[in-house]
Amino acid sequence: MKFWLNLISGAFFTPALWAAPAPLNQELAYRLVESLTVEVGPRIAGSEADRRAVQWAVTNLRQLGYDKVWTEEFEMPGWTRGQAKLDVVSPFAQPFVLTSLGGSVGTPVDGITAAVVMFDSIEALEKADSAAVKGKIVFINKPMTKDKSGSFYGQVVAARSRGAVEAAKLGAVAIVIRSVGTSNNRFAHTGTMKYDETITKIPAVAISVPDAQNLAKMLKLSPKVELKLQMDNQLQKASSHNVIAEITGTEKPDEIVLISGHLDSWDQGTGALDDGAGVALAMATGALIKQKATPKRTIRVVLYGNEEGGLLGARAYAAKHHNELAKHVLAAESDFGAGPIWQIESRFGDKALPFAKELQQKLAHLNIALGGNTTYGGPDVSVLAQAGVPVVALSQDGTDYFDYHHTPNDTLDKIDPDSLKQNLQAWLIMTETVANSSVNLRH
C-alpha cells in the first residue's frame, strides 16, 4: 500500500487482483495485451480506469524485472462521455448509431433539433456561404480509403479535429461527421476534436458509415431532413501519468534507448490495437532483452498517458526530460495496431544511414524492408523527433487498422498472436542492436 502512495503523488490506489506474471517467452507481448484488456479494459485518460491501468503497468513492469519503475503525473483537461442520442425527426424517423467526438461539449437537456446540410469534405464546408449553414446541423460525408500505411487518415481526419470550428464560424448549431474509418460495420469512430476559444463551441459527433450512407440517401429524397441531437458530456480538470521503466545499461547508463506505446485508450473498445499492443511490445522488449543480458545502454520504456487527447503525456515527458533529451540515443513507438511489420523507417543523421541499413539486414528474415529517412516515428515520439531525437519506425501493415481504431470493436480478438510475435521479434532485434552499440544516430 505504501508503495502506491509513494509512487504516484497524490493518488491512492486500492490494490487490485492482477493475474500471475506472464512468462518471459515469445508469447509475452500477447499475454500482456490480454492482461491489460481483460483486467483493465477501456482506460480513457484521467478516468478511474486510467489510474488502474497505471497501477497495472507499474505492477507488471516490476514483475518483469525492470530495474526502475516510476510514474510522472501531469495535469490535463479531462472529458467524460455522457449519454448521446441522434435521431432523424423527419421525414424518415429513425435513430442513428453515433459517438461523441472526444472533447465535445454536450447539448442543452432538450437537445438540438435542426435541418441538416451536407458537405463532401471540410474544404467544401469552408467554401460554403453562411446563409446555407446558419442554424443548421452540418454533416460532412467524406469516405476514407484503406491502405497499408493509413495514408488516407490525414485527408479525412480534419473534419473531426477542426470541423466544429469551421461549422460554427458559419453559424452551424452542431456538426455530424461520417466516421473516420474504413469499415462498413455499424460502429461510430470517436477521436479527439478541438475548439477555438474565440468561436462558439458546438457539439460534434460521428455517425457510423452505414448511417452516413443512409443520411445521404435521405437527403437525396427529401429537401429537408431534421435531426435531433442530445448529449451530456462533461469537461473537468484531471490528471494522468506517464509510466516509465528502465533496464539500466551496464556501460553507458546515461545513454537512453527509448521504446514506447501509449497506455490510455478511448473508452469505447478495450484498447487492444490502440494501443494495448504497443504497450505490450515495449514492456516485453525490455524484459526479454534483460533476461538474455543487460545491454550496454539504458533501455527506457515509456508508456505515455493521454496520447488520445493530443499527445499530452508525450509533451509532458519532453518538457520534464528536456535536459536529458541530448542523451536520448533513439526513440521509437508502436502505435498502429498489431499487423505484421513490413518496413523499417528512420530519421537519422546522414552519417548514421548505414546503421539503418544494418538494422534492416538484421530484420530481413522477418520480411522487413528498408524505408526512407523521413519518419517521425509515431504520434508520441514525434514530439521527441521534433526536439532532435533520432527515431525509428517499425511500420506495421495497417490495412485493417482503421476498421477497428477508436470504435467499440477494438478488442483483443482483433489481434493475431502470430503477427504480434513477429512484431516482438523485430522490436527485440532493433532495440538490442541499438542498446548494445555505440552508434551516434544524430545529425
Cell 456538426, located at residue: 175
As given in the structure block, the three cell numbers for residue 411 are: 478488442
* Minimum CB–partner distance for residue 268 and a copy of itself (Å): 9
Are the CB atoms for 81 and 100 separated by under 8 Å? yes
Any idea what DSSP says for residue 162? H
Q: Measuring CA to CA, which residue among 320, 129, 315, 138 is closest to residue 215?
A: 138
* Minimum CB–partner distance for residue 87 and a copy of itself (Å): 10
If one asks whether residue 185 binds a copy of itself (CB under 8 A), the answer comes out as: yes
If one asks whether residue 369 binds a copy of itself (CB under 8 A), the answer comes out as: no
Contacts of 70 (CB under 8 A, 6+ apart): 7, 243, 244, 245
* Minimum CB–partner distance for residue 289 and a copy of itself (Å): 28
Q: Give me the half-sphere count of Cα atoms (radius 13 Å) on the Cβ side of residue 191.
A: 26
SS3 125: helix
* Minimum CB–partner distance for residue 115 and a copy of itself (Å): 14
Length of the chain measured in residues: 443
Nearer to a copy of itself, 100 or 407 (CB): 407
Q: Measuring CA to CA, which residue among 402, 399, 395 is closest to residue 374?
A: 395
Nearer to a copy of itself, 154 or 223 (CB): 223
SS3 313: helix
Q: Out of 9, 145, 184, 386, which residue is the one contacting a copy of itself (CB under 8 A)?
A: 184
If one asks whether residue 420 binds a copy of itself (CB under 8 A), the answer comes out as: no
If one asks whether residue 266 binds a copy of itself (CB under 8 A), the answer comes out as: no
Nearer to a copy of itself, 233 or 270 (CB): 270
Q: Out of 40, 57, 159, 429, which residue is the one contacting a copy of itself (CB under 8 A)?
A: 40
If one asks whether residue 389 binds a copy of itself (CB under 8 A), the answer comes out as: no
Cell 521504446, located at residue: 259
If one asks whether residue 19 binds a copy of itself (CB under 8 A), the answer comes out as: yes
Q: Out of 7, 97, 325, 385, which residue is the one contacting a copy of itself (CB under 8 A)?
A: 97
Q: Measuring CA to CA, which residue among 42, 45, 56, 33 is closest to residue 281?
A: 33
Piece of the chain touching a copy of itself by CB under 8 A; list 5-13, 123-131, 333-341, 405-413: 405-413
Q: Judge whether 75 counts as a catalytic residue.
A: no
Nearer to a copy of itself, 58 or 301 (CB): 58
Q: What is the DSSP string of 151-175?
A: TTHHHHHHHHHHHHHHHHHTT-SEE
Measured between alpha carbons, how far is residue 331 from residues 112, 391, 434 in Å?
46, 5, 11
Task: Compute CA 246 distance to the chain's CA centroid, rounded to the nearest angstrom.
Answer: 23
Among the options 34, 307, 333, 432, which is catalytic? 307
Nearer to a copy of itself, 5 or 93 (CB): 93
* Minimum CB–partner distance for residue 19 and a copy of itself (Å): 5
Are the CB atoms for 310 and 374 separated by under 8 Å? no
If one asks whether residue 416 binds a copy of itself (CB under 8 A), the answer comes out as: no
Cell 469512430, located at residue: 189
* Minimum CB–partner distance for residue 184 and a copy of itself (Å): 5
As given in the structure block, the three cell numbers for residue 8 are: 504516484
Amino acid at 59: T
Tell me how many residues contact a copy of itself (CB under 8 A).
41
* Minimum CB–partner distance for residue 223 and a copy of itself (Å): 10
If one asks whether residue 252 binds a copy of itself (CB under 8 A), the answer comes out as: no
Could you tell me whether strands 391-396 and 341-347 are parallel, antiparallel, or unpaired per DSSP bridges? antiparallel
Q: Out of 74, 187, 336, 348, which residue is the one contacting a copy of itself (CB under 8 A)?
A: 187
Query: Which chain residues interact with a copy of itself by CB under 8 A?
Result: 16-17, 19, 34, 37-42, 48-49, 52, 88, 91-95, 97, 184-187, 209-210, 213-214, 217-218, 221-222, 269-270, 407-409, 411-414
Report the catalytic residues: 307
